[in-house]
Structure 1
Amino acid sequence: MTAANYRACLDHVFKWEGGYVDHPRDPGGATKYGITRTTLAAWRGRSVTKQDVKTLTVATAGEIYRPKYWNAVRGDEIPDGMDLVAFDGGVNSGPLRGIRWLQIGLGVKADGAMGSQTLGAAQSAKAGVTVIQRACAARMGFLRKLGTWSTFGRGWARRVADTEATAVAMHTRSASAVAVEASRAKQVKAAQTTGAGGTVASGAGSGLFDLPDWAMSGVVVVAVAVALVLALNAAQNARREAAYRAKVREMSNG
């Protein structure tokens, strides 16, 4: 719970936001280091061009992020790791959502307001790793429902997995604790993979072929939907495991 963690959290954001991008399906339009044209214009108090975005420096981006995003989630006042979860989520989807996801992780009212109740819950949380993981799961649930998921979903999923692993590492400061979470993600992935493979088959068994065609069709649709959800979750747990493993190597070599 230190102001010094801002730099590490900012580096994480820069890792995923990268340089200048102007993707036609990105509603934010021209972006650099995660700073959109609209955000830059608000910061400078005047309209800006795509060229202005393109020439944005890392230093200026950092100056924008602190008051607009870091201070908005009160990053200096919440524990290491939880600050990253709220901050990175806020950069990606707006500070209110970043706060809401952390609140879901904490089990408090998810109103998007970083008030005394949320701060108190964060500062006194005994199971910080669980808070971080629940918050990241809530973020994934939101992202999967977006219309642009088919275009950006894979990158978002990798980012959330990496954010979770990095946040857990920040919170625990223990490579062994991070390794434990990697093993847990692997176990959950294995269970979900097995479940996805057997769902449709089990739905079609146990005498269900005796059902009327209309009922059988409904059973199959439900079974396929469940299998798809399990497969998506298994894929995300594979990403989580990989992110945790990479973080263990980084911490062990550092």
Structure 2
Amino acid sequence: MDRNFQRALALVLKHEGGWSDHPADPGGATMKGVTLANFRRYVKPGATKDDLRRITDAQLATVYRRFYWDAVHGAELPDGVDYAVFDFAVNSGPGRAAKYLQGVVGVVQDGRIGPATIAATKAMMRATAINDLCDKRMKFLRGLKTWATFGKGWTARVSGVRVDALKMVAVISTPKPSIPKASEPEKPDLITTPAEPAKGLAFFLQLIGKALAALFSRRKEH
């Protein structure tokens, strides 16, 4: 369930910043990407803007999980795609993010991610799904009336999402260093050479000859 949630949330928060209450933002007052309406819905009914400003990390995670991550079935999507869809949902709503993913993978665009969408997403190359989704997301954002105000920030955000999502896809396999086996002592080559004559052989033969000569000499004397 939490396979990539914490990692994806940390990446989302890099783009969300802190407190915002821009009059041109249709979401109204937000803190770290959490709107006052969602804070009231999932954390504290009747919360004020000051309550939202003091949102805790645990409350923040609760809103992001329930309203965005679970809504797009992030835990069931492939690595990288889960983050790209999640960030799209945070920025533009879970229903729109779901529809655009469905358009990328070629299933009915009903805005509800189910078994068919998940299966089609897993069957597609993850890098292709991420790039196509980010391209379609940028096209959607450029068509908004608030593009002139927020376009620069949106462009930087989607560019960052694309890079980080593709990093989650990439599997860098570093070959394990080979550990040399303990070297065995070299064995000398067995070289067969002709046997050398025994040392002192001539002297030994001389002794035998002298002994035989002495023996014969004694027999003659007798």
- TM category (shorter chain) comes to 0.7 to 0.9
C-alpha distance in structure 2 between counterparts of 1:55 and 1:162, whole Å: 27
Amino acid at match of 2:137: R
Structure 2 residue 146 is matched with structure 1 residue 148: yes
Q: 2:169 aligns with which of 144, 168, 171?
A: 171
C-alpha distance in structure 1 between counterparts of 2:44 and 2:57, whole Å: 19
Which residues in structure 2 correspond to 1:88-99 (within 5 Å)? 88-99=87-98
Alpha carbons 1:31, 1:53 under 8 Å: kept: yes
Q: Could you tell me how far 1:77 is from its partner in structure 2?
A: 0.6
**1:46 aligned partner:** 45
Q: Could you tell me how far 1:105 is from its partner in structure 2?
A: 2.1
Q: Could you tell me how far 1:174 is from its partner in structure 2?
A: 4.0
Q: Could you tell me how far 1:30 is from its partner in structure 2?
A: 1.1
C-alpha distance in structure 2 between counterparts of 1:99 and 1:48, whole Å: 29
Alpha carbons 2:43, 2:59 under 8 Å: kept: no
C-alpha distance in structure 1 between counterparts of 2:168 and 2:104, whole Å: 17
C-alpha distance in structure 1 between counterparts of 2:132 and 2:104, whole Å: 5
CA RMSD of aligned residues (A): 1.5
Q: Which 4+ runs in 1 deviate beyond 6 A?
A: none
- After superposition, give the CA deviation of every residue in 1:136-171 in whole Å (9 maximum; x if it has no partner): 111111111111111111101111111111111101
C-alpha distance in structure 2 between counterparts of 1:34 and 1:90, whole Å: 11
Structure 1: give runs of 5+ residues left out of the alignment: 176-254
Amino acid at match of 1:161: S
C-alpha distance in structure 2 between counterparts of 1:7 and 1:23, whole Å: 28
C-alpha distance in structure 1 between counterparts of 2:62 and 2:94, whole Å: 16
Structure 2: give runs of 5+ residues left out of the alignment: 174-222
C-alpha distance in structure 2 between counterparts of 1:44 and 1:66, whole Å: 12
**2:71 aligned partner:** 72
Largest Rg, 1 or 2? 2
Q: Could you tell me how far 1:109 is from its partner in structure 2?
A: 2.3
- After superposition, give the CA deviation of every residue in 1:178-206 in whole Å (9 maximum; x if it has no partner): xxxxxxxxxxxxxxxxxxxxxxxxxxxxx
Amino acid at match of 1:140: M
Alpha carbons 2:100, 2:136 under 8 Å: kept: yes
Q: Secondary structure at the match of 2:108?
A: coil
Q: Secondary structure at the match of 1:80?
A: coil
C-alpha distance in structure 2 between counterparts of 1:57 and 1:19, whole Å: 12
Q: Could you tell me how far 1:69 is from its partner in structure 2?
A: 0.8
C-alpha distance in structure 2 between counterparts of 1:174 and 1:49, whole Å: 47
Question: Structure 1 residues 45 and 53, CA, compared in 2 at 3 Å: closer, same or farther?
Answer: closer
**1:158 aligned partner:** 156
Alpha carbons 1:106, 1:121 under 8 Å: kept: yes
Question: Structure 1 residues 174 and 96, CA, compared in 2 at 3 Å: closer, same or farther?
Answer: farther
Q: Percent identity?
A: 42
Q: Could you tell me how far 1:45 is from its partner in structure 2?
A: 5.3
C-alpha distance in structure 2 between counterparts of 1:11 and 1:44, whole Å: 20
Amino acid at match of 2:170: T
Structure 2 residue 123 is matched with structure 1 residue 124: yes
Q: Could you tell me how far 1:43 is from its partner in structure 2?
A: 1.2
Amino acid at match of 1:138: K
Alpha carbons 2:102, 2:117 under 8 Å: kept: yes
C-alpha distance in structure 2 between counterparts of 1:147 and 1:47, whole Å: 31
C-alpha distance in structure 2 between counterparts of 1:59 and 1:150, whole Å: 34
